[in-house]
């Protein structure tokens, strides 16, 4: 039997020679020092960049805040001027309204109401800015603050006077009339029919409708003509 000859090349291929692993480079203390120094440098640079950004941000924020404060101060100044002007105008309105009440409403309401509704209110029995109160459980409680109160032997009328008459004024007047009837002895209206009226320079249409619907007279003050325009409800309500 023949023996197969194995060549060196084949043997080499079949049994490769193992290579030695590469030698690792030794790190010295100088290398570590250099690495740490580079890391510290990068950290320091990053810190400087961060602080610069923060400083810029603070500067921009401070600038924005200063601008906002200045704008707010300017708005406050403008608001103060407007409030001052409004207060002055309101003072003028109050003075004008007081003039109308004193010279138009008070002298003319009684005669105008007598003519419009066939009433007999007496000139000797007219009260202005009258407040009624009662003692309940030892405590004084108001039952009605009346702008104008008209009387006769058989009738009485409470008139609420406003520069701008709104719905809530009408509702308040209706409650006031009921309270006065509930305390009729204190109001001195025992045995008298109690009528109600609302008076205004500017009358909200909804307030007017509510008043007429509930049987109240609606009186418009004609400022330029210095007269009263009275609208009588279809059915006058009495309390």
pLDDT at 88: 46
| C-alpha–C-alpha distance, residues 127 and 145, integer Å | 11
Model-level pTM?
Answer: 0.60
Q: To the nearest 10°, report the CA torsion of 116, 174, 129, 99.
A: -60
Residue 93 has pLDDT above 90, yes or no: no
Domain 107-231: assigned CATH number: 3.40.1350.10
Confidence of residue 2 (pLDDT cuts 50, 70, 90): low
- Best CA proximity match to 160, nearest among 187, 200, 124, 131: 200
User: Distance from CA of residue 10 to its chain's centroid?
Assistant: 102
């Amino acid at each position: 039997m023949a023996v197969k000859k194995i060549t060196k090349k084949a043997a080499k291929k079949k049994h490769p020679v193992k290579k030695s692993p590469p030698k690792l480079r030794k790190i010295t203390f100088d290398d570590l020092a250099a690495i740490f120094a580079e890391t510290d440098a990068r950290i320091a640079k990053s810190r400087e960049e961060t602080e610069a950004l923060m400083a810029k941000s603070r500067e921009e924020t401070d600038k924005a805040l200063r601008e906002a404060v200045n704008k707010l101060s300017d708005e406050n100044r403008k608001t103060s001027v407007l409030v001052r002007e409004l207060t002055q105008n309101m003072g003028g309105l109050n003075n004008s309204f007081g003039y109308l009440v004193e010279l138009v409403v008070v002298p003319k309401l009684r005669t105008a109401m007598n003519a419009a509704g066939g009433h007999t209110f007496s000139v000797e029995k007219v009260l202005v800015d009258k407040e009624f109160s009662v003692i309940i459980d030892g405590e004084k409680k108001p039952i009605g603050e009346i702008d104008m109160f008209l009387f006769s032997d058989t009738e009485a009328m409470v008139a609420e006077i406003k520069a701008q008459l709104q719905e809530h004024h009408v509702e308040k007047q209706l409650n006031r009339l009921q309270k006065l009837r509930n305390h009729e002895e204190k109001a001195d209206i025992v045995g008298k029919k109690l009528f109600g009226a609302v008076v205004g320079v500017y009358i909200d249409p909804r307030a007017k409708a509510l008043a007429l619907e509930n049987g109240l007279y609606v009186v418009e003050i004609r400022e330029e003509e210095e007269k009263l325009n009275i609208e009588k409800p279809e059915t006058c309500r009495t309390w």
